[in-house]
C-alpha cells in the first residue's frame, strides 16, 4: 500500500489477522489486499482521515466509482464482500461504531452454471489406454480426479501416505487447512494400484510426480488434461475444475444427496453445492422437452 495514513494501520492489522488466525491462503490475502487498497485510496482521495468519519454514503460512493469504471457485477460483489469483512472486524474492535455497509446492496450478478462433461464423455476421458508409464500415471490421475472430485491443489499435494487404497479412501487437506476423508472409486483404486506398482514409491513421495520427481504443478495438470482430452476425442475445454464439476453433478444426479456431495467436495457453505441442483434440473428439463407428449412441438409448427 502507498503512503501511510491514519486509516492504514487498522487494515494491515486486519490482513495479519486473516493470515494468522483464519489461515487464509496467499492468493486470498492478495485479493483482500487489492480490494482494501481501492477503498483506502478512494477514502484518502475524498479527504477521509479517520474510520469514525466513514458512513454508508461514502461506502456507496466508493462502490459506485468501481461501477463507473466498468467493473462487472461479480467484481463489485467481491469488492463489497472484502470491505464488509474489514468493517465487521473494526466494529468488533470498537474502531467503528457501526457497520457503514449495513443494508448496502451490490448489483446482482447473473449466475453462471458450470460446464460439465456428460457421463459418456467423462467415461471416454478417463478410460485412457495405459500403454506406457506416463499413460499409467495419467490414467490414475484422471480416474482419481473424476472419482473423488478433488480440487487441483488437493490433487497436486497428495502423498502416498494420504491414500488408503484397501479402504478406498484418500485424506485431503482442503481450503482453510481443513482435512476431510473422500472415497475413492473401484476403478480409480485399480488405476492407482497399477501406478503404485509401476513406481514402488515411498509413503512421502508425491502420488503424481513430474519428470524430476517433484509433485506436478496445477499448470502441469491443466496441460495434461487438455492433451489427454484431445487424444480421447473430446473437444470441450477440459480443465481441472470441469472434472470436479462433472463428478459433483453426476453424483448428485444419481443420489440426490446434496449434503453428502457438500461434504465430499469440502464446501463450507451448502449454497455453493446447490448450484449442482440447477444443473440437474437443466438435465431434467431437456429430457422432459424431448420426451413428454405434452411438451413436444408439433411438426411444422
Catalytic residue numbers, as ranges: 151, 175, 241, 244, 267, 276
- Count other C-beta atoms under 10 Å from residue 21's C-beta: 8
| Cβ pair 273, 175 in contact under 8 A | no
Report the phi/psi class of residue 223: left, alpha or beta, with left for phi > 0 and alpha for psi in -120 to 50.
alpha
Residues 258-266: contacts with CB within 8 Å, 24+ apart?
263/180, 264/148, 264/149, 264/180, 264/182, 264/183, 265/149, 266/151, 266/172, 266/174, 266/175, 266/178, 266/180
Measured CA to CA, the distance from residue 71 to residue 209 in angstroms comes to 40
Measured CA to CA, the distance from residue 13 to residue 181 in angstroms comes to 34
| Cβ pair 216, 157 in contact under 8 A | no
End-to-end CA distance of the chain: 63
Q: How far is CA 177 from CA 22, 154, 164, 181, 218, in A?
A: 10, 11, 20, 13, 18
DSSP strand E in 78-224: where? 163-164, 169-173, 179-183
Amino acid at each position: 500500500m502507498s503512503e501511510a495514513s491514519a486509516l492504514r494501520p487498522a487494515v494491515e492489522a486486519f490482513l495479519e489477522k486473516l493470515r494468522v488466525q483464519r489461515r487464509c491462503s496467499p492468493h486470498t490475502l492478495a485479493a483482500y489486499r487489492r480490494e482494501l487498497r481501492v477503498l483506502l485510496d478512494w477514502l484518502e482521495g475524498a479527504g477521509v482521515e479517520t474510520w469514525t468519519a466513514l458512513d454508508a454514503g461514502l461506502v456507496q460512493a466508493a462502490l459506485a466509482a468501481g461501477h463507473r469504471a466498468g467493473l462487472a457485477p461479480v467484481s463489485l460483489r467481491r469488492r463489497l464482500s472484502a470491505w464488509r469483512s474489514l468493517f465487521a472486524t473494526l466494529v468488533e474492535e470498537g474502531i467503528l461504531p457501526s457497520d457503514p455497509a449495513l443494508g448496502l446492496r451490490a448489483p446482482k450478478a447473473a449466475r453462471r452454471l458450470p460446464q460439465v462433461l456428460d457421463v459418456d464423455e467423462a467415461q471416454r476421458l478417463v478410460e485412457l489406454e495405459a500403454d506406457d508409464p506416463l499413460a499409467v500415471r495419467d490414467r490414475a490421475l484422471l480416474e482419481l480426479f473424476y472419482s473423488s472430485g478433488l480440487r487441483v491443489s488437493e490433487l497436486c499435494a497428495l502423498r502416498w501416505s494420504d491414500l488408503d487404497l484397501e479402504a478406498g479412501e484418500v485424506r485431503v487437506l482442503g481450503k482453510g487447512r481443513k482435512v476431510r476423508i473422500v472415497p475413492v472409486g473401484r476403478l480409480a483404486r485399480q488405476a492407482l494400484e497399477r501406478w503404485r506398482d509401476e513406481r514402488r514409491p515411498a509413503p512421502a513421495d508425491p502420488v503424481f510426480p513430474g519428470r524430476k520427481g517433484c509433485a506436478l504443478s496445477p499448470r502441469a495438470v491443466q496441460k495434461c488434461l487438455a492433451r489427454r482430452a484431445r487424444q480421447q476425442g473430446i473437444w470441450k475445454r477440459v480443465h481441472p475444475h470441469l472434472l470436479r464439476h462433472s463428478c459433483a453433478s453426476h453424483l448428485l444426479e444419481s443420489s440426490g444427496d446434496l449434503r453428502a456431495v457438500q461434504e465430499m467436495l469440502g464446501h463450507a457453505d451448502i449454497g455453493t453445492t446447490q448450484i449442482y441442483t440447477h444443473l440437474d434440473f437443466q438435465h431434467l428439463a431437456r429430457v422432459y422437452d424431448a420426451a413428454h407428449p405434452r411438451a413436444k412441438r408439433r411438426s411444422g409448427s
